[in-house]
Structure 1
Amino acid sequence: MRTALIIPTRNSGAYLERLLPALDRQTLQPDELLVVDSASTDGSPERWLQFGARVVSIDANHFNHGGTRRWASTLVKADCLIYMTQDAVPWHKNSLRRLRAGLYAAPDIGVAYGRQLPHPGSSVLAALARNFNYPPQSRVKRWSDATQLGIKTCFSSNAFAAYRHDALLVSGGFPTDAIGSEDAYVAARMLLAGYAVHYAADALVCHSHDYTPAEEFRRYFDIGVFYSRERWIGQSFGTASGEGLRFVKQELHALWRSGQAWRAPTALYRNVLKLLGYWLGRRERHLPAALKQRISMFPNYWMRQNP
């Protein structure tokens, strides 16, 4: 089967010292490596070209998390599409191979996503966020699991994910205009179309973020916007009841175990900002466009919405 690796980039140079050697040592080398670059100014497109990638450019103002990935899928000819982000670094030489194997582990699997480990030097809270959402046990999720998992059924991450190209087409593909969470959108569409989502925990990448409290607020505002505009997901799968409280408890426990209990007030403040951001995002239709542009992580999205 033909396999394509697709990586959207913008000024990816800071990651290439680790990423390129990690890709080079993969036991599965893709038939096509496509880099979709958004007006980088750090010389990284040239480094990708030297590495052997095909590089196509897109105006940064036209980049869209769903629409750009949808466009990229039309530029390759492959049965398996592996999407990565520029800051996801394969942890093992078999990471790509195991991810593709996870995609074909059962005939009904439409998407497989790998386990994300914290980058070296990540904070306790950043590491906990990875471990909370990416446990060491693999799982195949189907629509029938929604009664148990709720909206977590369609949780996925295309920071490191493989899609069957035919399943992507049957389920409608990536959304043309989404502020983010396009991976959850596709997973939900696939589940409703009868496909399964496979969390392949043996396919490992390093990928984590040390967000500031303000960045967490903005990120959760965008998540709230997404689920406000895609209400069918909540109607089809329900909610993640109790997940937020469970996460806060694990955060506080992790801080205590690491001798950083003094950071508990900051952690609680961070979670209050997450809730506030999400709450506002769910009600974004009542907010002025200028405010939405200011508090979103993706102001260009709102500029396109209100030219």
Structure 2
Amino acid sequence: MSTDKEQVKAEYSNITTMMDFVLLGFSDTPSLQRTLFGIFLLIYLTILMCNSFIIIITKIDSDLHTPMYFFLGNFSFLEICYVSVTIPRMLMDLWTQKGHISFLACAVQMVFVLMLGGTECVLLAVMAYDRYVAICNPLHYALVMNHKVCIQLVAASWISTVPVVMGQTWKTFSLPFCASHSINHFFCDVPPILKLACGDTVVNETAVMVVADSSMFVMVPFVLIVFSYGKIISNILKLSSAGGRSKAFSTCSSHLTVVVLFYGTGIITYLQPKSNQSEEMRKLISLFYTIFIPALNPIIYTLRNKDIMKALRKLLAKLLP
């Protein structure tokens, strides 16, 4: 009787183990695990503090109560959520030097990574549209971008990604997986998960990537951003004074820089053929769009923004008279 119980327990243990994944992360550099932990912890705390500062200062300074800074505050909150899905888990794996993650936890992480990444794509398009209205139709800006419209656009940015992301995640995790459950990555992303699927997965990979690349939260926002900046640049070039052109371009240069960085690394990661990209290169690029770019975004938006720097000086004057 006890033998039967032990056999059932062993079989259950094997099933449980097979339902787990192992995130390899940076296990190829064991001597640098603690050093990487310190670096990424510092970056994470910097991202949290800088983006929190942007959220607070856009709330307390009345001069920043405009649609552009309303969207920027939401974007900063999104960045905090985005990095919090991947970095804390990665820090835990670096500290414990164990990368075990359950099947469900891996699926949940993928859902949030894709949802927040998709939301960022849509929100960047919304911010581009805001700059388009401000520069190309300034007389109607207050009417077109009223507070109700701004709230609706932000809500749509968050909600619109959910159905597509849920479908893509279900499609990925419904595949049969082979004996190896080792994910050569530091978080549960689509490409490395697909590599673990058994048999011929060309059809499944194509279906999953088509959903990702042609969905409303990748290609459509990108087209809208390109269209908006095409109109913006055309309108700026028509301005007679060099000062006017410089001022108009300065209001959207930070946003354009963020768009180029975010979409550039995303396109390299998801659209480049797998045969042209090693696993280590994929991890390095993923580090850029999940960690380093979110760390750069607050710097780009603050150092190159006169209004925020002015608000910072006012705040410091009150705190340190």
TM-score (norm 2): 0.24
Bigger relative contact order, structure 1 or 2, given CA contacts below 8 A and separation 6+? 2
**Structure label with greater radius of gyration:** 2
Structure 1 or 2: larger strand share? 1
Give the structure-1-normalised TM-score: 0.25
